[in-house]
Amino acid sequence: MAAWSVTILVLLACLWFPASVQCMVRHYKFNVVVKNTTRLCSTKPIVTVNGRYPGPTIVAREDDTILVKVVNHVKYNLSIHWHGIRQLRTGWADGPAYITQCPIQPGQSYVYNFTVTGQRGTLFWHAHILWLRATVHGAIVILPKRGVPYPFPKPHKEEIVILGEWWKSDVEAVINEALKSGLAPNVSDAHTINGHPGSTPSCPSKGGYTLAVKPGKTYMLRIINAALNEELFFMIAGHQLTVVEVDATYVKPFKTDTIVISPGQTTNVLVTTHRRAGKYLVAASPFMDAPIAVDNLTATATLHYAGSLTSAATTLVSPPPKNATSVAANFTNALRSLNSKKYPAKVPLKIDHSLLFTIGLGINPCSTCVNGSRVVASVNNITFVMPKTALLQAHFFNINGVFTTDFPGRPPVPFNYTSIQLTNLGTKQATKLYRLGYNDTVQLVLQDTGMITPENHPIHLHGFNFFEVGRGVGNFDPKKDPKNFNLVDPVERNTIGVPSGGWTAIRFRADNPGREGLMVQFSSRIKVKERKKKKGS
């Protein structure tokens, strides 16, 4: 009843105060279909939305309501996640399969209904089951309310740039073979910019994405990393990038030649076309500073000035080495929240829960796997087991036996996290959640481990933004490191990369009741319990 009351009040506000409350309901239809697509000189069927790769862009304004009808015409179960949307009071619309909903079965449909409350900027949507998100993804553009300007000069034009990965093989076959063998999945065959890898050694061509520009103008690029696994560098030959936003939050503008962007992150940059007419290479290349196999190919596109001949030579750019830790660190360290009067950085100062999650890999027995074992993901020595009943459904209907709320807030046995440990690599497999009270404040230190190998971990917190208050190399020191935390203007995000062999500290307020997930390519879970109202309230 409360939810209906809120909806009615909002609708009445739209009717009575049209000048001050500009509400719209925006309708979209996603037909999930298979389409034959050619990349790298070979053709394969891929799962798409409306036959497009990348998929269609959702455009809305702050406080608009979005309804998306998803119709599943393919053989896979699927769900769609609206990456970075807070989903205040609409947790069931978030999209992770078996977490907030059961997946949409073949031949069935589902309507996602949510309001974009207090957010503006660039986010994206993607499939949230199996590896379908490799091709099932697209941009979300949230414009400010009418009459509210950007906190930087308005650009001449805006463009969407989606970075991704491409496999010649069927991506579902790739991940299924990995699960069957117990080994890591094969790396991708190419990176992509707006669905195109550009020219590669195995498939030389003049193809690829072209960004047409006029001289003397400023453009805003809404850059999205929709890759499954890899952090990427992004740069444009001969042009500096002015960073103005990350993960749909404004930042203090700064100039850079190269940005680094983790899977799930977004970055808005301003580019001024001040060079002489011509063509300039746009490049996306991998960043990996750990001994992990990656796709080494650089995706390319072209920034093409109006009036330039198609046959004109392209000005090239050399991407950083894939292990250029200093380039990535310089970019990350430059990020600061705008922290203005209109856009303050509300960093929690008093902490109710101080947590330490160790993130890494483990090895569990598997009689049917290669070598009789399987490589698994681990958070605090627990490997998350996907439930057969959606967690939110289990909570709402009081279904027992689906999950427990005893996820440890710290490692069960402390150890030298970043050293190479080759003793007991086994993990406990369970569906565990950590319980938070409504409006509790949380400090969460995410610690990479050297179990098997250290590596960078992209982490996304569903339903919340958080502030990155600190990061470092080696083991987190709870006595020394907090003294250097930035509690004034730390960057606010929804997705972050934990450095290889290091740690990241984040803070947030648990103001969104429901079953929200901390996604680390694998999953640990956080549960926010809504406190009971007092009588008469």
Give the pLDDT of residue 2. Answer: 39
Query: Lowest-pLDDT range, 30-34, 54-58, 410-414, 448-452?
Result: 448-452
Tell me the Cα Rg of the chain: 23
pLDDT, tens only, 124-166:
999 999 899 999 999 999 999 999 999 999 999 999 999 999 9
Q: The dihedral of CA 82, 86, 87, 91: what is its sign?
A: positive
* Average pLDDT for 298-317: 94
* Alpha-carbon distance values, 301 to 119, 162, 308, 484 (Å): 30, 12, 16, 40
277/293: higher pLDDT: 277
Give the pLDDT of residue 87. Answer: 96
pLDDT band at 424 (very low <50, low <70, confident <90, very high): confident
Confidence check: pLDDT of 9 > 80: no
291 CB neighbour count, 10 Å cutoff: 10
pLDDT band at 423 (very low <50, low <70, confident <90, very high): low
186/14: higher pLDDT: 186
Residue intervals of the chain classified under CATH 2.60.40.420 are: 19-143, 157-334, 353-529
How buried is 350 (Cβ within 10 angstroms: 0-12 exposed, 13-18 middle, 19+ buried)?
exposed
Confidence check: pLDDT of 421 > 70: no
Distance from C-alpha of 525 to C-alpha of 99, rounded to nearest angstrom: 9
Confidence check: pLDDT of 19 > 90: no
**Amino acid residing at 379:** V
Give the pLDDT of residue 450. Answer: 80
What is the percent of the chain with per-residue pLDDT over 70, rounded to a whole number?
Answer: 91
Mean pLDDT (the chain, rounded): 91
* Average pLDDT for 201-208: 84
The superfamily CATH assigns to domain 19-143 is Cupredoxins -  blue copper proteins (2.60.40.420)
Contact 499, 448 (CB under 8 A): yes
* Average pLDDT for 76-81: 98
* Average pLDDT for 226-249: 98
Distance from C-alpha of 292 to C-alpha of 289, rounded to nearest angstrom: 8
Q: The dihedral of CA 245, 303, 196, 154: what is its sign?
A: positive
* Average pLDDT for 32-46: 97
Contact 324, 287 (CB under 8 A): yes
Spatial neighbors of 44 by CB under 8 A, at least 6 apart, are 36, 37, 168, 169, 170
460 CB neighbour count, 10 Å cutoff: 22
Distance from C-alpha of 457 to C-alpha of 447, rounded to nearest angstrom: 10
3-class SS at 393? helix
Confidence check: pLDDT of 525 > 90: no
Contact 281, 193 (CB under 8 A): no
Highest mean pLDDT among 417-421, 466-470, 495-499: 466-470
Written out in words, the top-level CATH class of the domain with range 353-529 is mainly beta
How buried is 292 (Cβ within 10 angstroms: 0-12 exposed, 13-18 middle, 19+ buried)?
middle
User: Residue 169 has which token pair?
Assistant: 């093989």
**Amino acid residing at 165:** E
Confidence check: pLDDT of 265 > 80: yes
What is the percent of the chain with per-residue pLDDT over 90, rounded to a whole number?
Answer: 80
Contact 71, 29 (CB under 8 A): yes
**Domain 157-334: which CATH number of 2.40.10.340, 1.10.10.60, 2.60.40.420, 3.40.50.1010:** 2.60.40.420
